[in-house]
Structure 1
Amino acid sequence: MSLVERIEICLKGLGEAIGIKKSAVYLWSPENMCFVKGICSKWLPLKSQKIISRNIISITSEETIYYKLRKGQSVIIDGKEASSYLPDTKSIFIFPLICKRDFLGIFVMDFEDISIRVDKNEILDLINMCSKHLSISIENVQLYERMNRENERYKQELNIAYNIQHSLLPRDIPTLKGMNMSAKSIPAKIVGGDFYYFKRFRANKHEVGISIGDVAGKGVPAALIMAMALSTIEQCIRYFNEPGIAFVNINSIITSH
């Protein structure tokens, strides 16, 4: 169930319990320091969500009201002041949605719509219970969305690492008379520590040096060591044209790290 659906169910249930005809939830963006999303239940006869959203933002931008809400205090606006923000409204009730001290948004309703048959204390208890439920739902959904974004970013970074790692491996495989060679690295995870390298040490076309490496461990740490080892092998073999001398220096450099 989406966050919007959960909020709409909660608003509808509260509306039916105490006779609210107009209500909405506005989500707060800490990054943008403003309300970024207004959620109104479909069954509510709101004239225009855009107008409501704009007027709610103008209310909550007032310093006194804003700090009250951030401190967890509810706000009631009566009379002409209420109708100046929302036409045909005599009383606006704004209740902050807070979970674990995080300001998540506000729950707004037309307080005048509340049934006179319902006890005031009962109303406040129901609103408080609804607000807590909304706060927990919003917190859980936002946490889930953040985790999904982080996982997606992590997957993208691993895919980039995979492409970089495979670009380090030699693409051109030497050919030898009477011998067919092929090479492929398939890591246990997206990236790994296996690698290979080809090098002709001498001008003789019949002699090819082959290096095969398997770094202990898996994943990103092994991939980083693999990149260092492969770079060291390539540089040393270019500088030292004898296999024995080259690998003595390769071993010395790798073990020093």
Structure 2
Amino acid sequence: ETGTIMGVVDNASGFGLLDVRPEVKLKAIIEISRALAGTTEIDKLLPKILDTLFSIFPHADRGCILIKNQETGKMVPRAIKHRHSSNDDSVKLSKTILNSVLEERKGILSADAATDARFEASESISSLTIRSMMCVPLLGLSGEPLGVINIDTQNPISQFRQEDLDLLLAVAGQAALSYESAKLMVSYAEKQKQDSEMQIARNVQHALLPEDFPIIPEYEIYASYESAQEVGGDYYDIIKLDEDHLCLAFGDVAGKGVPAALVMSRLSSVVRSTMTFVKDACEAVCEINNHMCAKAVEGRFVTFVLIILNLKDNTMTCVNAGHMSPMVLQADKNVIEFSEDSVGIPIGVLEDYPYEVVSYDIKPGDIITIYTDGVSEAMNYENELYGMEHLRNFVKQATPNATDLGKEVLADVKRHAAGRPQNDDITLMSFGRKL
């Protein structure tokens, strides 16, 4: 038998062996290293490998590189080269040889494929009149096969030999390294592009939030939004309806990231358009809910609070759609919350839902705080929640003005988390009537 697995060839010094001088091989290794080092595009890298192999092995007639598809696990042809013109771009390899190379992770050499027992049932060998072939694995840094390189010749008096296989294995090692480097570069470029796009999305989302608040002599307003990811689903807005009325809207879209951000942007648009012609809190929330229900995304409901502040008589009307109750710090340090009976379902769930209104007279020194569950459910490394009771107690002790209170609550939440990354968007709005 003239050909054996692992390149041990009995007649390695016989007539017709491919003659590749050592200095040519060394030069080829240096050239392929240089060529591949400067190539970061995979679709250009793989053909370059075959071009270099054809210069190393002048009697090679065909070459191909198969790469494993990460999803299916199948080997897929990614580069094919014929020394002579051919209309056949298909790849025909012996499954036995291919599986052996992948499973044993070693190169296979057949000095004479026509008489090699391993190819007796191979249609690809007989139909292509392959005389001698080499197949080697492309092994990643982890040792797992990324693919294979196969070259063959139809010349009946030419045979590949052990040193040819050794050279091909060396080239395959360099090729695998270059391939993984190229993949990393592609991943890095995609990540850079994604980061850039996410930064644009973040900027767009922040542009939907009010940059400046209306100046109301008798009131102070503070708001803060910090998403857990580049973009998020928390929302607030402050809209001056007329000289005597101010609208404060606050919401939390179910979920995080881009899907929640898209719903948030739609909510922002719906609220703004609705408040241009509706001044009643209950009517406004019903309209907003119906708009969000009309093109609702499954599972993307919104807990929502809308407050209409009457600046003339210092009263507010509040509609709560599935959110935590606003927390009112009174001048005497008492903290009150509105009844749960007045809380309706989140918006975007049921069309024409009858929401209820709660009214409250805002006295001098009162500060109203609205927050998302990113505040109350902030967690430290001991898996301890910040908690509603902790929030109530802290609000009682905080500086009695809206801006300082809001900032102090957020700082206390961070102290509680003690460096643990937030797992939800953290948004807070506080407004109060000055003493």
| TM-score above 0.5, yes or no | yes
For 2:195 and 2:73, locate their aligned partners in 1 and report how far apart those are by CA, in whole Å: 27
Specify the alignment match of 1:9 in structure 2: 48
How many positions carry a matched residue from both structures? 213
Aligned-residue offset at 1:133 = 2.2
Secondary structure of the corresponding residue to residue 174 of structure 2: helix
Deviations 1:73-94 (A, max 9, x none): 2245733547502522335432
Q: Greater strand share, 1 or 2?
A: 2
CA contact (8 A) 1:229 1:254 kept: no
Alignment match of 2:73 (pick from 17, 21, 33): 33
Aligned-residue offset at 1:209 = 5.0
Gap change, CA 1:115 and 1:213, over 3 Å in 2: farther
Alignment match of 2:102 (pick from 69, 72, 86): 69
Q: Specify every segment of 5 or more residues in structure 1 that has no aligned partner in the other structure, as ranges.
A: 171-195, 201-206
Alignment match of 1:20 (pick from 39, 48, 60): 60
For 1:243 and 1:141, locate their aligned partners in 2 and report how far apart those are by CA, in whole Å: 65
Aligned-residue offset at 1:136 = 1.7
Alignment match of 2:214 (pick from 198, 201, 212): 198
Partner letter of residue 209 of structure 2? L
For 2:44 and 2:411, locate their aligned partners in 1 and report how far apart those are by CA, in whole Å: 59
2:406 aligned with 1:250: yes
For 1:103 and 1:169, locate their aligned partners in 2 and report how far apart those are by CA, in whole Å: 54
2:168 aligned with 1:127: yes
CA contact (8 A) 1:76 1:94 kept: yes
Specify the alignment match of 1:108 in structure 2: 150
Bigger Rg over Cα = 2
Secondary structure of the corresponding residue to residue 172 of structure 2: helix
Specify the alignment match of 1:89 in structure 2: 129
For 1:128 and 1:75, locate their aligned partners in 2 and report how far apart those are by CA, in whole Å: 10
Gap change, CA 1:229 and 1:5, over 3 Å in 2: closer
My pick for the range that moved more, 146-155 or 135-144, is 146-155
CA contact (8 A) 2:237 2:249 kept: yes
CA contact (8 A) 1:93 1:111 kept: no
Deviations 1:180-207 (A, max 9, x none): xxxxxxxxxxxxxxxx42364xxxxxx4
Alignment match of 1:99 (pick from 122, 128, 140): 140
My pick for the range that moved more, 37-46 or 161-170, is 37-46
For 2:78 and 2:230, locate their aligned partners in 1 and report how far apart those are by CA, in whole Å: 46
CA contact (8 A) 1:20 1:115 kept: no
Gap change, CA 1:103 and 1:15, over 3 Å in 2: same
For 1:160 and 1:22, locate their aligned partners in 2 and report how far apart those are by CA, in whole Å: 49
For 1:115 and 1:15, locate their aligned partners in 2 and report how far apart those are by CA, in whole Å: 18
Aligned-residue offset at 1:37 = 4.0
TM-score (norm 1): 0.62
Gap change, CA 1:210 and 1:89, over 3 Å in 2: farther
* Fraction of identical pairs, as percent: 11
For 1:114 and 1:13, locate their aligned partners in 2 and report how far apart those are by CA, in whole Å: 23
For 1:29 and 1:142, locate their aligned partners in 2 and report how far apart those are by CA, in whole Å: 13
Within 5 A, what are the aligned runs for 1:41-190?
41=81, 43=83, 45-49=85-89, 51-52=90-91, 55-56=92-93, 59-60=94-95, 65-66=98-99, 68-76=101-109, 78-79=113-114, 81=120, 84-86=123-125, 87-91=127-131, 92-100=133-141, 101-113=143-155, 116=158, 120-169=161-210
Partner letter of residue 245 of structure 1? D
Gap change, CA 1:83 and 1:252, over 3 Å in 2: closer
Deviations 1:109-159 (A, max 9, x none): 11554974x872321222122212221221111111111122222222222
Gap change, CA 1:98 and 1:7, over 3 Å in 2: same
Partner letter of residue 84 of structure 1? E
Q: Specify every segment of 5 or more residues in structure 2 that has no aligned partner in the other structure, as ranges.
A: 1-38, 239-247, 251-306, 310-315, 317-325, 329-361, 368-401, 414-435
Gap change, CA 1:73 and 1:11, over 3 Å in 2: same
CA contact (8 A) 1:94 1:107 kept: yes
CA contact (8 A) 1:90 1:112 kept: yes
